Structure 1
Amino acid sequence: MKQHFVWMTTRRIRPDALEEFERAWRPESHPEGMSRAFAYWSEDGQEVIGVSFWDSKESCDVWRASDHETRRREAMAPFIEEEKEAFYRGRELVVPEG
């Protein structure tokens, strides 16, 4: 089974700041080594979960230490009340039909 390398971030956004946060959230360039990314918002728009899939932990670490990511995080900071981040390894689970 194929192993996945995933970086997940959960952020609580200041009330009424989701639109500004989303503008700041977009990276300037596509991170090398990232194969997919997803974003999920709570119904009240105050919590955002980002899930990105990477070729390896090392490629994720290189991006996280880059100047591009530093600038992006600085741009997001005024809109974030709380943040939790972690790197995971895992695999896709098979869901039986019927």
Structure 2
Amino acid sequence: MREHFVWVTTRRIKPGALQQFERAWRPDPNPEGLRQAYAYWSEDGQEITGVSFWDSKEACDSWRTSEAEARRREVMAPYVLEEWEGFYRGRELGVPVR
């Protein structure tokens, strides 16, 4: 099974700020080494978890420390109340077919 390199970031945002936050959230340019990215919202729209899959830890670290990511975080900052993140390695779980 192929190993995955995953960066997970969860943010709690200000009430009513979901649309503004979504506009600020998209990276520009798209990060080098990014394979896929997903976003998951809580029912109340005040917590957002981003899950991104990378070619390697080095590719993710390069983006995380880039000027483009620093600018993106500055644009998001007015809407963010709290943020936590982590980097993980893992594999797909084999789920039996029923």
Distance 2:97 2:3 in 1: 23
Distance 2:71 2:17 in 1: 19
In the other structure, the counterpart of 1:61 is: 61
In the other structure, the counterpart of 1:81 is: 81
Letter in 1 for 2:37: A
TM-score (norm 2): 0.98
Distance 2:94 2:29 in 1: 33
2:71 is aligned with 1:71: yes
Distance 1:97 1:65 in 2: 41
Aligned length: 98
Distance 1:7 1:67 in 2: 18
Cα offset, 1:29, TM superposition? 1.0
Letter in 2 for 1:65: T
| Aligned Cα root-mean-square deviation (Å) | 0.5
Consecutive unaligned residues of structure 2, counting only runs of 5 or more, are: none
Q: What pairs with 1:1-98 in structure 2 (closer than 5 Å)?
A: 1-98=1-98
Q: Secondary structure, in 3 states, of the residue corresponding to 1:5?
A: strand
Q: Percent identity?
A: 68
TM-score (norm 1): 0.98
* Deviant stretches of 4+, over 6 Å: none
Cα deviations across residues 16-44 of structure 1 (Å, max 9, x unaligned)? 00000001001111100000000000110
